Every structure is written in structure tokens, then in C-alpha cells.
Amino acid sequence: MARCCCCIPLKAGVIIITLLWLFTSIISAIADVAVIKNTEQLYDKRYYVVDLVASAITFLITTFGLFVTCCAKSSTIIKIYAVLFAILVVIQIAHLIYMCIFIATYHDSYMSTCLSTIKSSNSTDDITGSNACNAEFKKFAAPWVIGYVLAAILSIYFAFVINRYAKHCKSNEKISPVPTVQTNTDKKSDTDTDKK
């Protein structure tokens, strides 16, 4: 039987992946709502609004996926989940691109705020202050970008796992057809044949 991450049975792996994404979307949505409520500048809110929408879509798809993985009897429904999850991965990659653009455009705003803070304290010259601000910005931006890139790579792998599970379920349906139920007329014809 196929496995997820080399050691977990495929169905259990799909359930774990789905639960992981479900809980992550809930935590992300809660954090986004908290930031949106406490942030007054529209410029700062827009990233979190986009993130909140992505979290809501993730929540809906993974809730559907959890139900399907645990309860579905048809491989067609599981295939629908695999397609929805692939769409979710595309959304996440688009979100990654948006986030990188957002961070790049946020750089100028961050630098001007940081430099004005340094100038008001009169602690260093402009070049030293600029270098310090750049270093701080890189410390802020690098973990976010690296985290999102790793999450995107993992998401692609998870999409392949869920797709493999859908194919596995479909092949099992072909191997074990649905048993037919004999009706009373079928039983009569069988007994009539036995009597002759």
C-alpha cells in the first residue's frame, strides 16, 4: 500500500494533512482578525484581509476534505477534494507572490519610519541608521518569505499525496465491485433451474 511521508498509511496521512491545514487556517484567521481590529492604517490591513480570505477558503476546503476522507464511499468525491486541494495550493502560491510584493513595497515605508525614528533620537548618522534599518527589515522579512516558500513546497507534496489517495481509492473500487443483491424473482429462477 502507498504511504505518506514514507511511514504513514495513505489515508491516515491525508487525514493528518487535512487536520494540519484546518487548524492552521483557524489560527491564521484568528490572528488576522486580531490584527485587523487593532490596526488603524489601511495600508497595514490589506495584507491581513487577503490572508483572512485565504484562511477562510482553506478552512472551507479542508473541512470538506476531512468529511470526505473520513466518510466518503465514492472515489469521485475524494477526487473532487484532490482537485480542490490543488486549487488551494495554487491560491497559496499566488498568496506567496502577493506577500513577496507586499514586503517589497513595504520596504520603503519601513525604511522611512525607521530612519525618522533614528533621526529624532540623534543617535547615529544617516548611513549607519540606514544600514541598521536595512538589517532590521531583513530580519523581519526573511523568516516570512522562507516560511511561505517552504509551506508552498510542502503544499505541493501534500497535493500529490491527496491525489495519490484519490487514485488509490479509485483503483480499489475497480478491484472490488459493489456486490449485487439478489431479488425474489432471481431466487425463483435459480430454484426453477435446480428442479429441472
pLDDT band of 22, cuts 50, 70, 90: very high
What's the average model confidence in pLDDT over 94-116?
80
Over residues 132-137, the mean pLDDT reads 80
Q: How far is it, in rounded angstroms, from Cα 161 to Cα 165? A: 6
Across the range 175-180, mean pLDDT stands at 51
> What's the mean pLDDT when you consider all of the chain?
80
Q: What is the pTM of this model?
A: 0.71
pLDDT score at 73: 79
| HEC letters along 35-53 | HHHHCCCHHHHHHHHHHHH
> Is the pLDDT assigned to residue 139 strictly greater than 70?
yes
Q: What is the reported pLDDT for 122?
A: 61
pLDDT of residue 185: 57
Top pLDDT among 187 and 90 is at 90
Higher pLDDT, 17 or 119: 17
What's the average model confidence in pLDDT over 179-190? 55
Q: Which DSSP letter does residue 137 get?
A: H
CA distance 166 to 85: 12
pLDDT at site 62: 93
CA proximity to 159, closest of 93, 96, 84, 91:
84
Going from the C-alpha of 96 to that of each of 82, 90, 126, 146, the distances in angstroms are 21, 10, 33, 10
Tens digit of each residue's pLDDT (9 = 90 or more) over 37-96: 886 665 567 778 888 998 999 999 999 999 998 887 788 898 999 999 999 999 889 988
> Which residues contact residue 74 at a Cβ distance below 8 angstroms, ignoring those fewer than 6 apart?
173
Helix (H), strand (E) at residue 4: strand 3-4
Q: Name the pLDDT band for 170 (thresholds 50, 70, 90).
A: confident
What region does 6 belong to: left with phi over 0, alpha with psi -120 to 50, or beta?
A: left
